[in-house]
Amino acid sequence: MLFFVKAELPEQPPMPREQWLGQVASTWEVIKNLEQNGKVLAGGAFVGKRAGCVIADVASNEELAEMLNRVPLFAYLEWEVLPLIPADKALESAKWALQQLSLAQTRAG
């Protein structure tokens, strides 16, 4: 299952800046490890924002929830998670809809 996962840090957590920056680095280390393990296909930080996104490839909603809970800054981040339909399935669906439209027009004509 594919998911678009966006995380944003609305404000710096109430901790010393050095500790906060350490947690930011640790969070990106977790994401890099998930990339190496094939659980994150792509992602990165947004320019000029305390935010970023990943495309996660996991077996279930539960696996995704567990993965996000392990991110060091999890509790401070605002999350947006959207399930994705793989491009090949989206193409198949679009072709089917086009075919149905063509059939309907043929019957009506």
3-state helix, strand, coil in the chain (%, to 5): 50, 25, 25
pLDDT over 90 percentage in the chain: 74
d(CA 90, CA 58): 19
> Structural domain of residue 51, as residue ranges?
2-108
Q: Which pLDDT band holds residue 109 (cuts at 50, 70, 90)?
A: low
CA-based nearest residue to 24, from 71, 81, 80: 71
d(CA 32, CA 48): 21
Mind listing the pLDDT tens digit for each residue in 21-41? 999 999 999 999 999 999 999
Instruction: Provide the number of structural domains found in the chain.
Output: 1
**What CATH number does residue 76 fall under?**
3.30.70.1060
The pLDDT of 63-86, averaged and rounded, is: 94
